[in-house]
Structures are given as C-alpha cells and as structure tokens.
Amino acid sequence: MRARRVEVDGVLDHVVTATAEDRRLQQPYNNHSQINLTARMIRQDINRIDPKRRATLDYKKKQFATPTYKQQDYPHRLNFYEVPPTAEITLEQFEQWAIDRLKSTRPGFLRDVPR
C-alpha cells in the first residue's frame, strides 16, 4: 500500500494505491512465510467478504475473481431494455450517447445546451 498526499479543491487528502506487494499478499495461501502470514492477519479486515455474499464464494478460488455478467450480443434490432448494460464505456461515450439520444427524439431538451 502506498499513500500519497494530494490536494483536491484546496483540501489535503490521501490517495492510496495498491502496489505489487499488495497484489502478492492477496493471492490466497500460496506462500507460508511468517512475514506473509503476519501481514495477512493484519490485513484480514480488508480481505473480508461481505457476510451476505460469503456463502456463494469459494474463498480459496474466487475471493478476488472479477465479476462476470451475462454476455450481451444483441441478436435483434429492437430492444425491450430488460437487461441493464454491464460493460465498461468511457466518460466521453457516456456523455455523447446520452446527448445523441436526446437529440434524436427530444431536440427541445437540448435547445440551450451550447455544444
């Protein structure tokens, strides 16, 4: 864990970034060195899973698994919008797509927006 002091809007804050060491510590029980064990005991509260989710996880394998979602492949042109989107998009796309949708059917909404 590496902490860095930064200034955001005149307020001092700390930015904590994960280091390679952290990622190695997060590997479940692959190294039995005393240092590592101690480190893990201290860090236990960080590694704990939300109790509600615990039952569904095999902690040895899935603790740090990335979430997986149903793959969306749009076989049809039309969409009933039942399944929310889950993939990542950029902020620019987020903004531009929303504006484009507004422009397409509700031009009145954006009359006063400069761009």
- Token pair, residue 8, equals 């955001």
Q: Which is nearer to other proteins, 56 or 105 (CB)?
A: 105
Q: Which residue type is seen at 73? A: D
Can you tell me which residue has the tokens 């005991």?
A: 41
By CB under 8 A, tell whether 114 contacts other proteins.
no
Token pair recorded at residue 22: 């952290």
- Nearest approach, Cβ of 89 to other proteins (angstroms)? 6
Contact letters for other proteins, residues 88-107 (x by CB under 8 A): -x---xx--xx-xxxxxxxx
Please give the Cα distance from 64 to 28 (Å, whole number): 9
Q: Whose Cβ is closer to other proteins: residue 59's or residue 69's? A: 69
- Does residue 62 bind other proteins (CB under 8 A)? no
* Amino acid (one-letter) located at 88: E
Phi, psi of 17 (to 5 degrees): -120, 145
Q: Which residues of the chain form contacts with other proteins (CB under 8 A)?
A: 72-82, 84-85, 87, 89, 93-94, 97-98, 100-113
